Amino acid sequence: MPPDGHIRLLPNHVANKIAAGEVVERPASVLKELLENALDAGATRIEVTVTAGGRNLVSVRDNGCGMNREDALLSLERHATSKIRDVDDIERIATLGFRGEAIPSIASVSRFTLTTRREDAEEGTRLVVNAGILAEVKDCGAPPGTCIEVRDLFCNVPARRKFLRAFVTEEGHVRAAFTVHALAHPDVGFSLNLDGREIYRFPPGATLEERVRDLFGASFAESLVPIASDVNGVRVHGYAERPDHDSSLRRDQFVFVNGRPATAASITYALREAYPRQRTDARPALVLFIDLPPEQVDVNVHPAKREVRFRRSADVRDAILAAFAPQRGENPVVLKSDLPMPESQSPASAPQPFAVPFQPSLPHPIPPAPTVALKCDPPETETPPETESPAAPIPTDDPPLQTAAGPWRWFKFLAQTASGWVLLETDAGLVTLNPRAARERIAYEKLIDAHEALTQPLLIPETVTLPPTESARIRNFLKELQAIGFAVEEFGRDTWKVDSVPSLLDGYPVPELLASIASDIAEAGAQRGGTRWRDELIAKSVARSYSRASLQLEPEAATQLVEELARTRMPYVSPRGRPVMTFTSNAELLRKFDR
């Protein structure tokens, strides 16, 4: 507080900069606001151009209704809007934007140009604003609609500009903002140009299935099935990943409420309850639309409108659960779905919504396995003290394995549980082993320690089409991929030709492998220093893919897995920091059973 303690009105330019802090977080925030305005203006075609991750330019051109000169000038004033008239309109918002803060906030922290014309006007209007100061107003020739160019974002707020991330990171956020709006409005034609390279061009009038296929590729679209329900005036429809789809990736989930990319705690809870959690570290891919009367949802909760609040959240929850009901064996709410079916599939052969039941894996009889001696030190003639081990090592005709870092002197494979845990008896106690985590550790150290790439050529080279965001990540890590055994090269726009893979991954689905690597790169965040980190990131991703083999092991395979694990430098944790095993010592067992 100033020394005199008096309260003062903030100047407009200061107030606008503060408002910009809530609305404009980064270039992607600018794109989001401009796309919402274009859609609210009734545009059927929207062209987006971005350079330098949005630092230098974010441009959105639409063929919407446009503005006359008076409306264009008013759009620069705070809280000037065409979308609400009185306070009651807030209770039934049917548009994407409504507060009238976006344009003046963006114009206050950039070099801003607005060009617009109504279809019935002979000429258009151009406004130029430099860091919140109106510099030029003039008539101009322009096509019907509006074009807004935002240059040098945060040019007058160097502290904010300094906190922008690397170009590739900001570009990723721009792509994400474009993707959600293009997905939410398949009837609208969209194009995206990044640094002079056209990334997307979608025609208007598409179906949701066509837009999903265009955005994410055919393999992603084929992993989805349609879902639909209509309960108490709440309509839920869209696509979700098949429960039987074999993937442990954390997949993108897109949720739209009345066409707005948004979510709510009740939605998150309902999705967790509705979808089976068969894969502990995965979430299903999802494109979900929730439509309900505008007066039943409050969109004015979050400054950036990311979250909404429902008047009757129980109705939304029930509608989501009804959409997923078939997979839980319940009677679904039957709708005449307007979601298209691929022409290549007949109704009889097409996948039914969540009709594939899950079959729990049953334990198979496991014959006794021999004890295997693992020597950490030179062979000793002494047997372990009786107080430390209730059973002496069982002799074997095979020579003991020599290792420098075995976690036990000997082990005996006892059994494998229905859920996949491997049970071992060792010289010091009982061990419960996670075979997936063990595979990860083994594969990771083999990849990191290999002096030469162990490559397995593919019998027939595969071509893989990835979303542009994932392609960009693969492109940035090509050297690291090649270093561990991949032969991969770009084969057209966002399409990759794979000639060979690391020998550890022979037979593993190549499209899912590349998607897994791209996902891990994204979750790792911005590039950290040194190529060693990049090498380890790729190795971890490949190791994780290698771990996704069948959980159930024959005794010989389980014994071999334990032997290989014993040779690793760090057998206790996976490369991602997860425990490989739990241990209960003989002394603890004696204590628990009061012996």
Domain CATH code at residue 279: 3.30.230.10
Interval 442-475: pLDDT, tens: 888 887 776 556 788 888 888 888 877 778 788 8
Pairwise pLDDT comparison (91 vs 225), residue with the higher score: 225
Same structural domain for residues 157 and 193? yes
Kindly report each contact of residues 156-163 with a partner whose C-beta sits within 8 Å and lies 24 or more positions away, as own/partner: 156/17, 156/109, 156/131, 156/132, 157/17, 157/20, 157/109, 160/21, 160/109, 161/55
Pairwise pLDDT comparison (264 vs 252), residue with the higher score: 264
Answer yes or no: is 270 within a domain: yes
pLDDT band, residue 94 (cuts 50/70/90): low
Same structural domain for residues 129 and 149? yes
| Distance separating alpha carbons of residues 60 and 38, to the nearest angstrom | 8
What is the token pair recorded at 444? 């990771």
| Distance separating alpha carbons of residues 150 and 71, to the nearest angstrom | 19
Where is average pLDDT lowest: 93-102, 232-241, 285-294, 391-400?
Answer: 391-400
Q: What number is the average pLDDT over the span 553-568?
A: 90
| Distance separating alpha carbons of residues 171 and 454, to the nearest angstrom | 34
Supply the mean pLDDT for the chain: 76
Answer yes or no: is 3 within a domain: no
Picking from 164, 182, 205, the residue at the C-terminal end of a domain is 205
Same structural domain for residues 535 and 557? no
Same structural domain for residues 428 and 444? no
Return the pLDDT at 479.
Answer: 82
Contact 148, 114 (CB under 8 A): yes
Could you give the percent of the chain with pLDDT greater than 70?
A: 69
Q: Which domain holds residue 506?
A: 439-546
Answer yes or no: is 359 within a domain: no
Q: CA gyration radius for the chain?
A: 30
pLDDT band, residue 333 (cuts 50/70/90): very low
Contact 420, 548 (CB under 8 A): no
Picking from 156, 183, 205, the residue at the C-terminal end of a domain is 205
Return the pLDDT at 376.
Answer: 37
Is the torsion defined by CA of 137, 142, 146, 148 positive or negative? Answer: negative
Return the pLDDT at 46.
Answer: 97
Query: Where do we find the tokens 């320690």?
Result: 449
What is the token pair recorded at 185? 């409005």
Residue 201 has pLDDT above 50, yes or no: yes
Contact 13, 156 (CB under 8 A): no
pLDDT band, residue 385 (cuts 50/70/90): very low
Q: What number is the average pLDDT over the span 255-277?
A: 83
Query: Where do we find the tokens 């300094």?
Result: 162
Same structural domain for residues 21 and 165? yes
Same structural domain for residues 163 and 49? yes
Answer yes or no: is 356 within a domain: no
Where is average pLDDT lowest: 50-64, 292-306, 348-362?
Answer: 348-362
What is the token pair recorded at 333? 């709410």
Q: What number is the average pLDDT over the span 199-209?
A: 93
Picking from 205, 226, 241, the residue at the C-terminal end of a domain is 205
pLDDT band, residue 393 (cuts 50/70/90): very low
pTM, two decimals, is 0.65
The amino acid present at 361, given as its one-letter code, is S
Where is average pLDDT lowest: 194-203, 285-294, 533-542?
Answer: 533-542
Contacts (Cβ under 8 Å, ≥6 apart) of 123 = 117, 139, 140, 141, 142
In the chain, what is the straight-line distance between the N-terminal and C-terminal CA atoms, in Å?
Answer: 71
Answer yes or no: is 401 within a domain: yes
Instruction: Give the residue from 551, 556, 552, 557 showing the smallest Cα distance to 369.
Output: 556
Answer yes or no: is 333 within a domain: no
pLDDT band, residue 215 (cuts 50/70/90): confident
Could you give the percent of the chain with pLDDT greater than 90?
A: 32
Contacts (Cβ under 8 Å, ≥6 apart) of 572 = 407, 579, 580, 581
What torsion, rounded to 10 degrees, do the Cα atoms 463, 468, 470, 474 define?
70
Residue 310 has pLDDT above 90, yes or no: no
What is the token pair recorded at 336? 């005449």
Distance of CA 21 to the CA centre of its chain: 26
Same structural domain for residues 494 and 574? no
Residue 147 has pLDDT above 80, yes or no: yes
Pairwise pLDDT comparison (37 vs 506), residue with the higher score: 37
Return the pLDDT at 545.
Answer: 67
Where is average pLDDT lowest: 79-83, 140-144, 350-354?
Answer: 350-354
Where is average pLDDT lowest: 17-31, 88-102, 549-563?
Answer: 88-102
Same structural domain for residues 566 and 474? no
Q: What number is the average pLDDT over the span 480-505?
A: 82
Pairwise pLDDT comparison (449 vs 350), residue with the higher score: 449
| Angle ∠(534,572,576) on CA atoms, nearest 5 | 30
Pairwise pLDDT comparison (161 vs 430), residue with the higher score: 430
Same structural domain for residues 422 and 521? no
| Helix, strand, coil percent content, the chain, rounded in steps of 5 | 35, 25, 45
Return the pLDDT at 344.
Answer: 36
Answer yes or no: is 281 within a domain: yes
Residue 396 has pLDDT above 70, yes or no: no
Answer yes or no: is 335 within a domain: no
Which backbone phi and psi does 580 adopt, to 5 degrees?
-85, -30
Q: What number is the average pLDDT over the span 39-44?
A: 92
Return the pLDDT at 381.
Answer: 36
Return the pLDDT at 448.
Answer: 76
pLDDT band, residue 185 (cuts 50/70/90): very high
Residue 127 has pLDDT above 90, yes or no: yes
Q: How are strands ordered across the β-sheet holding 189-194?
A: 133-140, 124-130, 111-117, 145-151, 57-62, 45-51, 189-194, 197-202
Return the pLDDT at 32.
Answer: 92
Q: What is the 8-class DSSP label of residue 517? A: H
- In three-state secondary structure terms, 467 is coil
Same structural domain for residues 76 and 189? yes
CATH number at residue 382: 3.30.1540.20
Query: Where do we find the tokens 């590739």?
Result: 168
Which backbone phi and psi does 506 adopt, to 5 degrees?
-60, 125
Query: Which of 15-19, 524-528, 551-555 tops mean pLDDT?
Result: 551-555
Contact 374, 398 (CB under 8 A): no
| Distance separating alpha carbons of residues 550 and 368, to the nearest angstrom | 21
Number of folded domains that form the chain = 4
DSSP code per residue over 170-186: HHHHHHHHHHHHHHH-T
pLDDT band, residue 383 (cuts 50/70/90): very low
Write out 13-35 in H/E/C secondary structure.
HHHHHHHHHHHCCCHHHHHHHHH
CATH number at residue 81: 3.30.565.10
Return the pLDDT at 300.
Answer: 67
Which backbone phi and psi does 76 adopt, to 5 degrees?
-85, -10
Return the pLDDT at 402.
Answer: 33
CATH number at residue 462: 3.30.1370.100
| Distance separating alpha carbons of residues 245 and 284, to the nearest angstrom | 9
Same structural domain for residues 123 and 189? yes
Return the pLDDT at 336.
Answer: 33
Same structural domain for residues 382 and 502? no
Q: What number is the average pLDDT over the span 23-48?
A: 92
What torsion, rounded to 10 degrees, do the Cα atoms 25, 169, 220, 548 define?
-120
Q: What number is the average pLDDT over the span 65-75?
A: 91
